[in-house]
């Protein structure tokens, strides 16, 4: 079983050779996945009428859905971003070094700045802006507090760890399918 990679509307997904895309992930249309990034089990990235861009060393964890707004904008995810399990990332921007907790939703034209953090289960409403160094949570999400210096210093640790962890899964999946991980 290999990931389902589907060209759509004349656009074919572009995936860096060292990225890990789980065998049951689905990547559709105008999607670019950067080096060292990982798209985990059960993820769907549907860039049918606008682009989805995923930077380097970013991890989209199990069950996450990334989509666009066909009328307005795509979805842009920077480098060293962690998106937790079962998130919905829709037509928004997650700048490099941001963090989105498990089962959170970030909606249309919202922005999570570099160094911003969205708590697990939060709903960031359309056009909201999570500033650098802030923790937002709740439904709808609002600023809860500023991140501590320790939290700021470790915000990208998970992304770096997942970049390494993904290579182990890439090798395990290749072995299970009887081929090289290259």
Give the model's pLDDT for residue 98: 98
CATH fold label, 4-176: UDP N-Acetylglucosamine Acyltransferase; domain 1 (2.160.10)
- Per-residue pLDDT at 64: 98
Condensed to tens digits (0 to 9), the pLDDT of residues 40-76 reads 999 999 999 999 999 999 999 999 999 999 888 999 9
- DSSP-H helix ranges across the chain: 149-153, 157-176
Determine the pLDDT at residue 46: 97
- Token reading at 14: 């572009």
Look at residue 180 and tell me whether its pLDDT is greater than 80: no
Domain ranges of the chain: 4-176
According to DSSP, the β-strands at 134-137 and 142-146 are antiparallel
The whole-number pLDDT of residue 70 equals: 81
- pLDDT at 2 (0 to 100): 83
String of DSSP letters for 71-120: TTB-EEE-SS-EE-TT-EEES-EE-TT-EE-TT-EE-TT-EE-TT-EE-T
Q: Strand, helix or coil at 9?
A: coil
Note the Cα 27 to chain centre separation in Å: 12
**What 3-state class would DSSP assign to 149?**
helix
Max mean pLDDT range (67-76, 94-103, 152-161): 94-103
């Amino acid at each position: 079983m290999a990931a389902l990679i589907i060209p759509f509307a004349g656009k074919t997904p572009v995936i860096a050779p060292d990225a890990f895309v789980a065998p049951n992930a689905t990547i559709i249309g105008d999607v670019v996945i950067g080096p060292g990034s990982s798209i985990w089990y059960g993820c769907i990235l549907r860039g049918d009428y606008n682009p989805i861009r995923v930077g380097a060393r970013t991890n989209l964890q199990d069950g996450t859905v990334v989509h666009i707004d066909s009328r307005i904008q795509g979805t842009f995810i920077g480098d060293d971003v962690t998106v937790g399990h079962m998130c919905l990332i829709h037509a928004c921007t997650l700048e490099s070094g941001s963090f989105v907790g498990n089962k959170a939703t970030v909606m249309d034209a919202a922005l999570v700045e570099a160094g911003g953090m969205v708590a697990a289960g939060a709903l960031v409403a359309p056009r909201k802006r999570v500033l650098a160094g802030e923790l937002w949570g709740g439904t709808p999400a609002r600023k809860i507090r500023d991140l501590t210096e320790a939290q700021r210093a470790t915000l990208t640790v998970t992304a770096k760890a997942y970049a390494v962890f993904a290579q182990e899964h890439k090798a395990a999946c290749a072995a299970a399918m009887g081929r090289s991980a290259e």
